[in-house]
Chain A
């Protein structure tokens, strides 16, 4: 940290005038793209022949007029803004706590109107099918009787909550807030990599990234017709309200694990933006199956809880008894219909990496439609034939433990050593049902500022879907970036950053 501490480091730059395209940059040749090597993956900015793709020409012509130092200064301004807002997480090392910002990149990632239309329709279709599936497995289990999904896979899943059986949820909407991870394959098509149906996070970074990217390139932003996303908190509020019969006078709270949670910034941010209470487990109590918060004036009833705590920790009487984060008696209040919890409990069974493989079949089964967005090809190690294939091709595959998230319990075959592969093979053989494998899909690359220029880095795309009385997507997403050259891991817990996503209106 510098000691010129009172200098205004949040100055993003003066007026940002968009000139007519003066030059079209060539990757690997022109500054700042001199180190830009196009590889096998799809690149968001440059076509295979090195030409700038049409949606990126405005950004390119602006960036080309800026000296490297100026880009670097704007990048620092973005980071400074994150630091001051407290968009940080704490790393513990040798008993020393260090605060680091979630890295943000100032260059926007662009999604065209046509691409977005397909994403929006595809994800809407998907969340409908997944909600129908959840209702089915928590009531009749028709899909299991019909043999579409193996019974053991559902009832044996550690995320299946028997306590939820037969419990009605408003509008049949189990998943109210969903964040799906998409990637763009080598052909340039978006495919779904993962559905996050439990407590997906990242939406505040989507909004924070917008804030800094718009300030870094105000002129370009204006010129391009980027669709707004600032109404997300409003839509979220409307979705939560739609879950109760009384739409106006309802008291809503966000339940957070507390200030030490890595997503705490987001919980506080959403509470502030929506104007609802942010509560911790210790602020809530249940009496006679009604949930209250302790306020200075006395107890106040809570009707809807947007919980950011996993199922396991939400009620120590029903789930993990060692949980200090949850609220004793909450589940009974929920079962009695006195409080709505969003997302419903037990949704994790459907974003299990094994169920993932069945989603296209679920779409056909429940909606009688063809999936609009494809899955990534997936091998289920529980199936004998797939298991042999996976073990024989570990060097070409990414193997994931079912039910883990955040990039943990994962083997990236081509990047692993023979020893690591052999060790992982033993784990798979010991518990094949716990593993799936996918070809090493090359995530697409997007231009990313790396300090001495702009280089391609792998990215994914996480749009956020709201589903209450209706289904809504705000036209934007969190684009996560694997900041290490060549890395495919975009998780912020493992060296990932993020950047703004500009969905164009036409």
Chain B
């Protein structure tokens, strides 16, 4: 596979994951805010803003639609849903020949549908419904990606992009909630933990495992270490490890080793992590370590397979 194509597939997938994450957080928040007091809703929105933009926001009584516009439809916001989708589409357009028609058309249609959306049309459309529909479309996109592309090298680059991005987003979300629980500034309440599960589409899978008793320690255990739930750190790390073993099959062993060593270390960290040890304040440090390792894997992936100097292989 051409290195440039691998690069575009990887980023296309990262941006799609980012857009989906944004849509999911907003959909859940718009749905759940009606059950909260204005103060709780403001604190919760502040966490969403921080999770999506990386900027710590002070709780403020801002109109939910204004926040939604900024997070979802503001093109000047580098991480808004529409910006992510536009970048995903730009990358997809550059590798049209490596994608099926179904994948391209699903993504293109979704983008063209959302591109003209304005504040007025959000108001008319009951915003929560719009985001639920967007999520449905994104699930359809994930479905056609799974079922119309060969699960070869290109597909594994998509997997890599998706799961590296997912670990980063998930990590940030967990960090915000658990740090807030510790520093005591705006302690998440029962309802906030419930919403956190919903942010990760984890509410029902969680209750199946632990019943409806919502406890931060169990939530941490589930979202960090459950090997079967697709939005857990452990699950994503497993997928990344598998994908890394499948890409660039013909690359020289030394080059492969550089990447696989990092992947092995990450997997070990997650496989042997113990939630009991973390609960006494170590969640944030653990997540920071995982996130850093993902960044190293990203760099190694690029220097081994994508941006390597041609003179090194001639």
Contacts and interface: CB of A to CB of B under 8 A. Distances in A.
Given A287-B314, A297-B249, A1 B96 contact: no
A85 B105 contact: yes
Interface string B102-121: 00110011001101110001
A215 B108 CA distance: 21
Given A297-B248, A297-B305, 12 more contacts: A3-B117, A85-B108, A268-B97, A269-B96, A283-B3, A293-B2, A294-B3, A295-B1, A297-B1, A297-B249, A297-B250, A298-B250
Contacts of A268: 93, 96-97
B4 interface: yes
Contacts of A279: 2
A5 B113 contact: yes
A296 B305 contact: yes
Given A3-B121, A268-B96, A271-B97, A285 B310 contact: yes
A84 B2 contact: no
A415 interface: no
B166 to A, nearest CB: 22
B247 interface: yes
Nearest to A6: B133
A280 interface: yes
A278 B2 CA distance: 9
Contact of A1 (B2, B101, B112): B112
B94 interface: yes
A272 B96 CA distance: 8
Interface in B160-193: none
B113 A86 contact: no
B180 to A, nearest CB: 37
A484 to B, nearest CB: 27
Contacts of B116: 1, 3
A269 B310 CA distance: 29
Contacts of A374: none
Contacts of B97: 268-269, 271-272, 277-278
A282 interface: yes
Contacts of A24: none
A401 B153 CA distance: 49
B34 interface: no
Q: Choose among B6, B94, B97, B305 the residue with the greatest number of A CB atoms under 10 Å from its CB.
A: B97
Interface in A1-16: 1, 3, 5-6
A299 B133 contact: no
Contacts of B121: 3
B310 A299 contact: yes
Q: Choose among A6, A271, A277, A298 the residue with the greatest number of B CB atoms under 10 Å from its CB.
A: A298
A264 B95 CA distance: 11
Nearest to B112: A83
Interface in B1-59: 1-4, 6
A297 B252 CA distance: 7
A277 B93 contact: no
A19 interface: no
B101 A85 contact: yes
A454 to B, nearest CB: 28
Contact of A259 (B93, B305, B310, B313): B93
18 contacts: A1-B115, A3-B124, A84-B108, A84-B109, A84-B112, A86-B96, A259-B90, A264-B93, A279-B2, A283-B2, A287-B314, A294-B4, A295-B2, A296-B3, A296-B305, A297-B249, A297-B251, A299-B310
A282 B5 CA distance: 12
A138 B97 CA distance: 36
Contacts of A292: 310
Contact of B2 (A5, A264, A294): A294
A283 B4 contact: yes
Interface size class of A (residues with CB under 8 A): 20 to 34
A83 to B, nearest CB: 7
B305 A299 contact: no
B125 interface: yes
Interface of A: 1, 3, 5-6, 83-86, 258-259, 264-265, 268-269, 271-272, 277-280, 282-283, 285, 287, 292-299
A481 to B, nearest CB: 25
B132 to A, nearest CB: 12
A63 B251 CA distance: 59
B306 interface: yes
Nearest to B96: A268
A208 B104 CA distance: 16
Contacts of A86: 93, 96, 104, 108
B115 to A, nearest CB: 8
Q: Choose among A85, A86, A259, A282 the residue with the greatest number of B CB atoms under 10 Å from its CB.
A: A86
Nearest to A83: B112
Nearest to B255: A298
A84 B105 contact: yes
A288 to B, nearest CB: 8
B112 A296 contact: no
A295 B304 CA distance: 11
Given A1-B116, A287-B310, A294-B310, A280 B251 contact: no
B109 A298 contact: no
B17 to A, nearest CB: 21
A295 B3 contact: yes
Q: Choose among A280, A287, A295 the residue with the greatest number of B CB atoms under 10 Å from its CB.
A: A295
B313 A299 contact: yes
Contacts of B248: 296-297
A296 B306 contact: yes
B251 to A, nearest CB: 5
B2 A277 contact: yes
Contacts of A296: 1-3, 6, 153, 247-248, 251, 305-306
Contacts of A269: 96-97
A326 to B, nearest CB: 16
A302 to B, nearest CB: 11
A294 B4 CA distance: 8
Nearest to A258: B94
Interface in B258-292: none
A285 B4 CA distance: 13
Contacts of A84: 105, 108-109, 112
Contacts of B124: 3
A205 to B, nearest CB: 15
A276 to B, nearest CB: 8
Contacts of B153: 296
B134 to A, nearest CB: 11
Nearest to B314: A287
Contacts of A277: 2, 97
A235 B66 CA distance: 56
Interface in B230-257: 247-252
Q: Choose among A268, A277, A287, A297 the residue with the greatest number of B CB atoms under 10 Å from its CB.
A: A297
Closest 10 CB pairs of A and B: A297-B250, A268-B96, A296-B248, A271-B97, A296-B305, A5-B113, A272-B97, A278-B97, A1-B116, A294-B3
